[in-house]
């Protein structure tokens, strides 16, 4: 047989001959056929995948590390779902805040529709295929129609190797939001600062029913040795919305790849992200929003703040199909470069097959405004703090889109800690409420 | 309070100030008048520590310290305040957040206790009221989309909150209608005390009808050409600056 692109696919051949194994092998075959994206791949033009191929990752063992890294939790009532290296851990989770009717299932032992995991098909994306081949666990959360607004769900991805070897995990997350329900989820990646490298290749699949709303958030705070790939595939129904905000802080190679289908009239997508990167951090955000029905709205706002040798890229995509009249689609990326060696790339793109649409895109690169910096310093504010205030203002424009509440405060705190002014997140909320 | 000795300043190799001398004592208000291009704003910016200006000679002491060796934030913490001619718009930074950072930076420097968010909001509201600054304005981003009058009132509020020893008002009257000018002047006059000095920089006499100075200096061609008391502006208003700018003519 052909040589595999990544060594950890080998184990699949030994699996018993059942439907699940066949589906997983099909995923492996797709991945092998697609191959690891090379330098000529448009979608991976900016990503540094040698950080993935250069490390001998092993499949994550069943056992968790003796001591797990901690994580901050959002204020207020919320449910907690914990995955450790892709494995759902009911013992660490707390579902008490969720009303009856909402179901949470671990995927390893889930029967029927999502039994044991595998599909994650939909499009030919190599890391989707890799997840299909290798995901063995994860979590499915299902909100029945008519549930109203639910307490937030804090979904923690712990990425920490139990031994000395670098490991790979392939979590799968399924979110089903029925009509007339509003679910807010924070996918929160935490790692061990000093541990071996962890490769997280997660796939989140979401479906939002008519008049349903999914507020999806990501707070990615992996250590510098990590490779973290988060693929999202969302399908949005009539007058429903998928609202996604990611905050990427440092990390090694981090990549979000978000594709949203606005499949019924009046569907809305907002896909926003902020990157705060230092040193050798590299973050890629790739989006593709497909307007397949009339009267859809999509908005994308990405901000990159880069210091040291950090890099970030935004590759935005909007596709307006022939039937999607009255589409309103906006994309913008702004980068703030704090050092001479930081680098940002922005590449919004549009494919339009209908004339009756309003689409816009923009991309800017800038540095700290010297006049603003002087103004702040002339009021007694030290130079470092003055810079931090200006950077926070720049990045907050993304977090301002998040609905007020514990999740937003948690994300703000993380951003302000990066800026070395931790008390400011609380202040911002307090002053705003005063 | 402020002693300027034979100050020479150049911008991009061109000398703008050609030897300024000034002695401003606590409790005094001095005005600096002069035509456009005379170096008035250069003087204000150099005193506040803006970069882009080369001091080529002379010196400045502020409360007996060498002012020109201090960073802008150190000057502010020591009690020097520049009310900007063109206050800078800072989108995304809420005015209260900015003011609280500024007030606490100065308080820390003075060894005073910092104020918390709620305490600060109370303080800002109280001082803002006299200047017609309401809650909505305090929540907006710093100067962003503010009218000329709103910007100058916010400058005055900052002065009231920071309680500087020396306030430099750079063309504070520019862009103000008469009502806004009165509001701002009232705010400034309320801050005149025995231990505070003010340097009021203006092109027109109008402002000095409301903020009455103890001394008036006329700056032209980078030098103080004439000094006098509060009646000098009226004389200048009649004669114009022409004789001073072109003394030979």
Q: Is A373 on the interface with B (CB under 8 A)?
A: no
Q: Is A40 on the interface with B (CB under 8 A)?
A: no
Among A332-346, B59-73, B201-215, which stretch is predicted with the lowest mean pLDDT? B201-215
Q: Which residues of B touch A396 (CB under 8 A)?
A: 92
**Residue A359 burial (CB count, 10 A):** 17
Distance between CA atoms of residues A202 and A131, nearest Å: 7
The answer to whether B96 contacts A376, with C-beta atoms less than 8 Å apart, is: no
Please report which confidence band the pLDDT of residue A2 belongs to, taking 50, 70 and 90 as the band edges: very low
Q: What is the pLDDT of residue A12?
A: 66
Q: What is the pLDDT of residue B239?
A: 78
Please report which confidence band the pLDDT of residue A59 belongs to, taking 50, 70 and 90 as the band edges: confident
pLDDT in tens, B106-140: 999 999 999 998 899 999 999 999 888 988 999 99
Tell me if A246 sits within 8 A of A272, measured CB to CB. Answer: yes
The answer to whether B105 contacts A382, with C-beta atoms less than 8 Å apart, is: yes
Nearest CA in chain B to A431: B117
Please report which confidence band the pLDDT of residue A72 belongs to, taking 50, 70 and 90 as the band edges: very high
Q: Is the ipTM of this complex over 0.85?
A: yes
Please report which confidence band the pLDDT of residue B60 belongs to, taking 50, 70 and 90 as the band edges: very high
Distance from CA of A375 to the nearest CA of B (A): 7
pLDDT in tens, A295-324: 999 999 999 999 999 999 999 999 999 999
Among A56-65, A299-308, A340-349, which stretch is predicted with the lowest mean pLDDT? A56-65
pLDDT at B158 over 50: yes
Q: What is the pLDDT of residue A3?
A: 46
Provide the Cα torsion A67, A73, A76, A79; round to 10°: -60
Domain count within chain B: 1
**Domain range enclosing B180:** 2-245
Counts of helices then strands in chain B (DSSP H, E): 10, 12
pLDDT in tens, A234-271: 999 999 999 999 999 999 999 999 999 999 999 999 99
Nearest CA in chain B to A371: B88
The answer to whether B102 contacts A381, with C-beta atoms less than 8 Å apart, is: yes
Question: For residue B185, what is the domain's CATH number?
Answer: 3.40.50.300
Distance from CA of A379 to the nearest CA of B (A): 6
pLDDT at A372 over 90: yes
Distance between CA atoms of residues B147 and A136, nearest Å: 61
The answer to whether A379 contacts B158, with C-beta atoms less than 8 Å apart, is: yes
Q: Is A335 on the interface with B (CB under 8 A)?
A: no
- For chain A, percent of residues with pLDDT exceeding 90: 69
3-state secondary structure at position A35: coil
Burial (CB < 10 A; 0-12, 13-18, 19+), residue B204, is middle
The answer to whether A374 contacts B51, with C-beta atoms less than 8 Å apart, is: yes
Pairs of CB atoms within 8 A across A/B:
102
Among A187-191, A263-267, B64-68, B240-244, which stretch is predicted with the lowest mean pLDDT? B240-244
């Amino acid at each position: 047989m052909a040589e595999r692109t990544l060594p950890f696919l080998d184990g699949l051949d030994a699996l018993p001959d059942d439907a699940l194994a066949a589906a997983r092998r099909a995923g492996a075959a797709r991945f092998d056929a697609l191959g690891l994206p090379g330098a000529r791949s448009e979608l991976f033009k900016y990503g540094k995948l040698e950080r993935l191929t250069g490390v001998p990752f092993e499949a994550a063992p069943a056992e968790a590390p003796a001591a797990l890294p901690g994580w901050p939790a959002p204020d207020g009532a919320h449910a907690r779902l914990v995955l450790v290296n892709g494995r759902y851990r009911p013992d660490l989770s707390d579902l008490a805040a969720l009303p009856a009717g909402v179901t949470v299932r671990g995927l390893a032992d889930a029967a029927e529709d999502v039994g044991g995991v595998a599909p994650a098909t939909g499009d030919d994306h190599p890391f989707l295929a890799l997840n299909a081949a290798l995901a063995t666990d994860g979590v499915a959360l299902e909100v029945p129609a008519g549930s109203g607004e639910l307490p937030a769900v804090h979904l923690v991805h712990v990425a920490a190797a139990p031994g000395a070897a670098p490991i790979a995990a392939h979590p799968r997350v399924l979110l089903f939001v029925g009509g007339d329900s509003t679910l807010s989820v924070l996918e929160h990646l935490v790692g061990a600062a000093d541990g071996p490298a962890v490769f997280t290749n997660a796939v989140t699949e979401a479906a939002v029913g008519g008049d349903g709303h999914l507020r999806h958030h990501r707070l990615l705070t992996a250590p510098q040795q990590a490779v973290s790939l988060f693929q999202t595939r969302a399908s949005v129904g009539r007058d429903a919305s998928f609202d996604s905000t990611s905050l990427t802080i440092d990390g090694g190679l981090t990549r979000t790849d978000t594709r949203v289908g606005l499949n019924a009239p009046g569907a809305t997508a907002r896909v926003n992200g902020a990157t705060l990167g230092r040193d050798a951090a590299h973050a890629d955000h790739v989006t593709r929003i497909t307007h397949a029905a009339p009267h859809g709205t999509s908005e994308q706002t990405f901000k990159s703040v880069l210091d040291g040798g950090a890099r970030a890229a935004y590759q935005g995509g909007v596709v307006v199909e022939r039937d999607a009249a009255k589409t309103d689609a906006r994309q913008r990326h702004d980068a703030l470069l704090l050092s001479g060696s930081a680098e940002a790339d922005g590449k919004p793109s549009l494919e339009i097959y209908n004339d009756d649409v309003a689409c816009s895109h923009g991309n800017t690169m800038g540095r700290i405004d010297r006049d603003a910096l002087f103004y702040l310093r002339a009021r007694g504010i030290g130079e470092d703090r003055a810079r931090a205030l200006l950077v926070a203002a720049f990045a907050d424009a993304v977090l301002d889109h998040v609905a007020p509440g514990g999740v937003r405060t948690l994300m703000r705190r993380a951003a302000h800690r990066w800026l070395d002014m931790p008390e400011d997140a609380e202040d911002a909320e307090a002053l705003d409420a005063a | 309070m402020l002693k300027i000795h034979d100050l020479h300043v150049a911008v991009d190799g061109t000398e703008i100030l050609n030897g300024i001398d000034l002695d401003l004592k606590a409790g005094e208000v001095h005005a600096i008048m002069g035509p456009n291009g005379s170096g008035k704003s250069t003087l204000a910016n150099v005193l506040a520590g803006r970069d882009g200006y080369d001091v080529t000679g002379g010196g400045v002491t502020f409360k007996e310290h060498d002012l020109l060796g201090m960073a802008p934030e150190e000057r502010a913490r020591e009690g020097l305040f520049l009310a900007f001619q063109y206050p800078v718009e800072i989108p995304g930074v809420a005015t209260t957040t900015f003011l609280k950072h500024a007030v606490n930076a100065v308080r820390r420097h003075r060894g005073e206790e910092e104020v918390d968010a709620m305490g600060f909001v109370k303080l800002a509201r109280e001082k803002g009221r006299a200047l017609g600054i309401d809650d909505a304005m305090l929540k907006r981003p710093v100067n962003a989309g503010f009218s000329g009058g709103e910007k100058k009132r916010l400058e005055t509020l900052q002065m009231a909150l920071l309680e500087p020893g020396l306030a430099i008002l750079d063309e504070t009257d520019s862009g103000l209608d008469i009502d806004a000018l009165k509001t701002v002047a009232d705010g400034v006059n309320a801050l005149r005390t025995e231990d505070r000095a003010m340097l009021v920089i203006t092109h027109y006499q109008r402002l000095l009808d409301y903020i009455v100075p103890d001394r008036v200096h006329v700056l032209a061609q980078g030098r103080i050409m004439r000094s006098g008391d509060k009646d000098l502006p009226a004389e200048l208003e009649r004669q114009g600056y022409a004789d001073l700018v072109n003394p030979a003519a």
